[in-house]
Amino acid sequence: MRNVTKDNITDVFVGYMGPDMDPRMKEVMTSLVRHMHDFARDVNLTHEEWRAGIAFLEGCAAVETEDRHEFVLASDVLGLSSLVDMLHSSPEATSSSVLGPFHVAGAPDLPVGGDMKRDFPGPVLVATGIVKDTDGNPIEGATLDIWQTAPNGLYASQDDAQDTYSFHGLQKTGADGRYAFTTVKPVEYTVPSDGPVGDILRACGRHPWRPSHLHFIAEAPGFRPLVTEVFPDDDPYLDQDTVFGVRDDLVMSYQNMPAGSFPDGFALSGSVDEPYLRVDFDLTLVRHSV
Ligand code: BEZ
Ligand code: FE
């Protein structure tokens, strides 16, 4: 096409794609470019704004490291990660929620009843629940990859003062499907805002806070893996999570417990000698469709 115009350029783009293209790739590229062109026409995008967009992408690439995932963070604060989660969440299962950039693979085993708190300061929390199927049956042999920040609001990978796997654990359920561990009450924290994503947040008049939460990846043979997080109902940022991760069914309540042994009959390796908090939160997994 010689006579490319602002009105036909989208169709010209579609016409340039080859006949042997993967059909899904063609669908995705056509829609992506159509929306991008419509966006530029809608806002009458200027050269300066176009350059600012390219500089944003270059800025993300410049700060990207093994421990700093600025592109994921950009997707998170723009709501794209959560939208993709919601598009593929099963209505019968516990809702999924953002993975975020701080998950570290290879966490150490954490036996049922195990302790993640160690000697970190802060209120003790016992988190427990059943991993179950959509009929309510417990799932034996489910693995839970669990992580959270330390009381200073930093994940291990952000904080030289912590070991690689501090506040990370891998737990396997027994026949009763139960998981349980002692930890510290999670705190609300800010997503990294010293890079290009922080600039976008400030330009949009937004804050970088996330409500406090515990992260889980639940997996079991025959079931769809679930990436999720749970949030306490009294958190001040529950209605304004900067990465859009909160869903109604992921909100839980802490119970205040007196000092003493854990009432459900199994030993905890962490201490509950002081009054502590308890949360019960079941995770429902859906079977892989056949
Ligand atoms: C997190 O919860 O770890 C997280 C999620 C999205 C962006 C930053 C952090
Ligand atoms: Fe988090």
User: 26 with 17: CB under 8 angstroms?
Assistant: yes
List Cα–Cα distances, 177 to 123, 180, 217, 220, 279, in angstroms: 26, 10, 15, 11, 16
176 CB-near residues (< 8 Å, 6+ apart): 130, 138, 140
86 φ/ψ angles, rounded to the nearest 5 degrees: -70, -30
Residue 191 alpha carbon, nearest atom of ligand 1: 8
Q: b/e for 188-206, b at 16 or more Cβ within 10 A?
A: bbebbbebbbbebbeeeee
Residues, CB within 5 angstroms of ligand 2 (ion): 100
Tokens coding 38: 């419509």
d(CA 228, CA 94): 8
What spacing in Å lies between the alpha carbon of 256 and ligand 2's midpoint?
23
d(CA 192, CA 157): 12
User: 155 with 102: CB under 8 angstroms?
Assistant: yes
**Is residue 101 scored above 60 in pLDDT?**
yes
- Per the document, the length of the chain is 290
List Cα–Cα distances, 46 to 13, 21, 42, 201, in angstroms: 21, 33, 11, 21
Q: Could you tell me the pLDDT band of residue 224, with boundaries at 50, 70 and 90?
A: very high
Report the residue among 63, 84, 98, 230 best suited for mutation to probe ligand 1: largest number of ligand atoms under 8 A from its CB.
Answer: 98
Residue 81 alpha carbon, nearest atom of ligand 1: 6
d(CA 123, CA 270): 12
What spacing in Å lies between the alpha carbon of 213 and ligand 2's midpoint?
6
Residue nearest to atom 1 of ligand 1 (CA): 100
3-state secondary structure of 71: helix
Q: Which CATH superfamily is domain 75-284 in?
A: Aromatic compound dioxygenase (2.60.130.10)
**Is residue 1 scored above 80 in pLDDT?**
no
Q: Return the closest-CA partner of residue 211 out of 192, 226, 190.
A: 190
**Which residues, judged by CB distance below 6 Å to any ligand atom, belong to the binding site of ligand 1?**
73, 76, 98, 100-102, 191, 210, 243
pLDDT of the residue at 263: 76
pLDDT of the residue at 260: 85
What spacing in Å lies between the alpha carbon of 7 and ligand 1's midpoint?
40
**Matching residue, tokens 């598009």:** 87
Beta bridge partners of 168: 147
Residue 243 alpha carbon, nearest atom of ligand 1: 6
User: 182 with 110: CB under 8 angstroms?
Assistant: no
What spacing in Å lies between the alpha carbon of 30 and ligand 1's midpoint?
31
Chain centre to alpha carbon of residue 115: 22
Report the amino acid identity of residue 88: H
pLDDT of the residue at 290: 54
Residue 99 alpha carbon, nearest atom of ligand 1: 5
Q: Could you tell me the pLDDT band of residue 289, with boundaries at 50, 70 and 90?
A: confident
Average pLDDT for 109-129: 95
Domain boundaries, the chain: 9-45, 75-284
**Is residue 47 scored above 70 in pLDDT?**
yes
pLDDT tens track for 167-197: 999 999 999 999 999 999 999 999 999 999 9
Residue 147 alpha carbon, nearest atom of ligand 1: 3
Residue nearest to atom 2 of ligand 1 (CA): 100
Kind and range of the H or E run holding 160: none
Residue nearest to atom 4 of ligand 1 (CA): 100
β-bridge pairing 114-115 and 178-184: parallel
d(CA 255, CA 113): 18
Report the residue among 83, 159, 210, 216 best suited for mutation to probe ligand 1: largest number of ligand atoms under 8 A from its CB.
Answer: 210
> pTM value?
0.92
